[in-house]
Amino acid sequence: MANYYQPEIETASREEILAIQNEKIVKQVKHVYENVKYYRDLMDAKGVKPEDIKSVDDIKKLPFLSKADLREAYPYGLLGTDLKNCVRIQSTSGTTGKRVVAFYTQHDIDLWEECCARAIVAAGGTNEDVCQVCYGYGLFTGGPGLNGGSHKVGCLTLPMSSGNTDRQIQFMMDLNATILCCTPSYAAYIGETLAEQGYKPEDNKLKAGIFGAEPWTEEMRRSIEKSLGIKAYDIYGLTETSGPGVAFECCAQSGMHINEDHFYAEIIDPDTGEVLPEGSKGELVFTSLDKEAFPLLRYRTRDICVLTREKCACGRTHVKMSKPMGRSDDMMIIRGVNVFPSQIETVLLNEGYTPNYQIVVDRVNNSDTLDIYVELLPDQFSDIVAENQKKERSLEIAMRTMLGIGPKVHLVPPHSIVRSEGKAVRVIDKRKLHD
């Protein structure tokens, strides 16, 4: 089964892709050098001139950009064109105090939506599908990106935005939605709510889901696929590079193809900045090859993953990135041990619990505490106190084995953890309040 939105590009030979990239990078570096003073200063400081960049092999000579640069250049410092050529902004949530505002020309919007269209078609989407988009619409890139992609494919688009789960389910059932686009945690929540309302997985018409904007595990994929009766595909992107669709999963479900005609990917050693060979684990860095308004070169994503050019069963030739193994931001250091929320999620799903959890880290008497709140499904709860406590103890043991440190597990009733209708608040680190 192979479905392509733009077969000539998606299955182009390695040489053809390189030729496209080489042509674009020369133009792009010149464009950035001439129009973005902030980056020109970085290049000058490093002694790199646009003429030094003749092909993608020369990208490694360019300076990196990081989130700190984006903050410093906020809001217009990295703008690559006159504002009169821009038609849109999108922005990150800024929950960590690092709001990013990205600008788009119509050309930038079109290429972003095309990338999303490739993702939808790869998930089996055609103009006969009904695509329910319940990512947030507005500043968040999730809703606008998938909405635009869905239009390009010609799906009947349900622009639901996030939240109001009863209404989501009503439209899903009444209008026979076949493709669901949202965060994985919200997909899991919709699955649970459908079951609570008495629906079986086969009662809906969904065939595929395109889930992203949050880290999620293979266990979570299997759990969502089972609860909704679908195939679940990962999609990747950042506001800094455009939004969802920078990379997407195909029918092989074994990594995400990066849209290499628009985005050049490198893996670097996060400590030294050195480019690592294919197959190495390291930090993902993107260079946008043809965006006009917000043309970031060598942007460090802080996502740790692996790139592979192994032949893919779907026939696409674009490089694949593994699911990010965790963003350096997500990692918590608790009592000196590195802990990722994805490890906790893996334990919960393996032990038969829901992926609805919240991690609270605090510091009491100069020692870190780790509390994990886990929602029970109604049939997992017992009227006998000791039975529930036994479940807590056995989860604590499983967590200690996985994490290397012992958390306190708290079982809580269904729906008591605040829901992510945009993104899940998985971690509350109260230590930051004390420091």
Give the nearer residue to other proteins in terms of CB position, either 95 or 382. Answer: 382
**Preceding peptide of 295 cis, ω within 30°:** no
Cβ 65 to other proteins shortest distance, Å: 45
Q: Percentage helix, strand, coil, to 5, in the chain?
A: 35, 25, 40
Query: Residues 3, 212, 371, 368: is their CA dihedral positive or negative?
Result: positive
Regarding 170 and contact with other proteins (CB under 8 A), the answer is no
With respect to other proteins, which residue has the nearer C-beta, 16 or 392?
392
Question: Contact 275/266 with Cβ under 8 angstroms?
Answer: yes
Residue 285 burial by Cβ neighbours in a 10 Å radius (0-12, 13-18, 19+): buried
Q: Do the Cβ atoms of 79 and 294 come closer than 8 Å?
A: yes
Distance, CA of 88 to CA of 102 (rounded, Å): 8
Query: How many positions of this chain bind other proteins (CB under 8 A)?
Result: 20
The answer to whether 347 and 398 are in contact (CB under 8 A) is: yes
Closest approach of other proteins to the CB of residue 256, in Å: 37
Subset of 193-232 contacting other proteins (CB under 8 A)? 196
The least CB distance from residue 189 to other proteins, in Å, is: 14
> Residue 28 CA to chain centroid, in angstroms?
25
173 counts as binding other proteins under rule CB under 8 A? no
The yes or no reply on residue 419 touching other proteins (CB under 8 A) is no
Among 170, 280, 350, 416, binds other proteins (CB under 8 A): 416
Which of 19, 335, 413, 418 forms a contact with other proteins (CB under 8 A)?
413
Residues 360-389 that bind other proteins (CB under 8 A): 376-379, 381, 383-386, 388-389
CA dist 95 and 97 (Å) reads 5
CA distances from 305 to 119, 210, 319, 328 (A): 20, 20, 13, 11
Residue 425 in the binding site for other proteins (CB under 8 A): no
Report in angstroms how near the CB of residue 160 gets to other proteins at its nearest.
21
* Residue 270 sits in the site that holds other proteins (CB under 8 A): no
Span 132-151, contacts to other proteins by CB under 8 A: none
Please report how close the Cβ of residue 373 comes to other proteins at its closest, in angstroms: 8
List residues binding other proteins (CB under 8 A): 196, 376-379, 381, 383-386, 388-389, 392, 410-416
